[in-house]
């Protein structure tokens, strides 16, 4: 990735969230569930677990899919097994792709504009997502996984936003953050004086909406509207 300093000739920086902004997070979840199911069949001899977990997920189950699928299959589900399954899920090589509108937008980068990413989540898992999406090979100038500093610096912490602004040497009014989660994504950039864009993809995973929600500059449904 390039140094990204203002000396590179940038006048603005567009910063993106990752999950449900640049790709659909449901695709990552289903990729992980398939990986866990394959592992369970190979290592434990439990067949059909992938289909059970996918069915539960698509029906709205969250948080206890492993336990529920194992119980349906008549299998014991001690905490140590659930922990191992979670490790397989987080460490799998995801089969995901950028949303078509994102690929198009990245290909026609606005002039004199830098691209960056700020994303929450466990560090290894987020790095795997970035590699799978091809976002470590020049499409963006900087990718920041907030977990590099620990869970306390996940959004809404301002640390990653301050880091990006300092890295590019840009004033706040030259920075824009595009993200999907009203609960946490916009607190820091609004406080810092950035522009904000809320992307509301119709197929995103449901997010809780706080009352009141931060007031973003603009709402869109696709990067084609950027």
CA dist 114 and 13 (Å) reads 4
Q: Distances from the Cα of 217 to the Cαs of 60, 146, 196, in angstroms?
A: 31, 24, 5
What are the sequence ranges of the domains in the chain?
6-24+96-225, 26-91
Q: What pLDDT, on a 0 to 100 scale, did the predictor assign at position 210?
A: 59
CA dist 213 and 66 (Å) reads 33
Other C-beta atoms lying within 10 Å of the C-beta of residue 108: 6
Residue 20: name the closest of 110, 119, 146 by CA: 119
11 SS3 class: coil
Handedness of CA 212, 214, 218, 223 (dihedral sign): negative
CA dist 95 and 97 (Å) reads 7
List the chain pLDDT tens, one digit each, 226 residues: 444 455 468 999 999 999 999 999 999 999 999 999 999 999 999 999 999 999 999 999 988 999 999 999 999 889 999 999 999 999 999 999 999 999 999 999 989 999 999 999 999 999 999 999 999 878 899 999 999 999 999 999 999 999 999 999 999 999 999 999 988 999 999 999 999 999 999 888 866 665 566 788 899 999 999 8
Is the CB of residue 170 less than 8 Å from the CB of residue 32? no
Pick the CATH number of 6-24+96-225 from 3.40.50.720, 3.40.50.10860, 3.40.47.10, 3.40.50.1000: 3.40.50.1000
pTM beyond cutoff 0.85: yes
């Amino acid at each position: 990735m390039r140094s990204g300093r203002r000396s590179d000739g940038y006048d603005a920086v567009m910063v993106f969230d990752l999950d449900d902004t640049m790709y659909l997070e449901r695709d990552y979840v289903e990729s992980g569930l398939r990986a866990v199911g394959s592992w369970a069949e190979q290592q434990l001899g439990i067949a059909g677990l992938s289909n059970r977990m996918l069915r539960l997920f698509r029906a709205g189950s969250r948080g206890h899919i492993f336990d529920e699928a194992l119980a349906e299959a008549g299998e014991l589900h001690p905490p140590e097994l659930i922990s191992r399954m979670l490790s397989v899920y987080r460490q799998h090589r995801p089969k995901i792709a950028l949303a078509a509108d994102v690929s198009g937008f990245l290909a026609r980068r606005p002039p004199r504009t830098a691209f960056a990413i700020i994303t929450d989540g466990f560090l290894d898992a987020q790095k795997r997502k970035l590699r799978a999406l091809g976002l470590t090979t020049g499409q963006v100038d900087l990718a920041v996984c907030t977990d590099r500093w620990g869970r306390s610096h996940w959004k809404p912490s301002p640390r990653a936003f301050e880091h990006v602004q300092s890295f590019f040497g840009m004033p706040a009014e030259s920075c824009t953050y595009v993200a999907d989660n009203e609960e946490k994504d916009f607190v820091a950039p609004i406080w810092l004086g950035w522009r904000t864009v809320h992307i509301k993809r119709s197929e995103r995973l449901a997010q809780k909406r706080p009352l009141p929600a931060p007031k973003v500059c603009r709402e869109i449904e696709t990067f084609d509207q950027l």
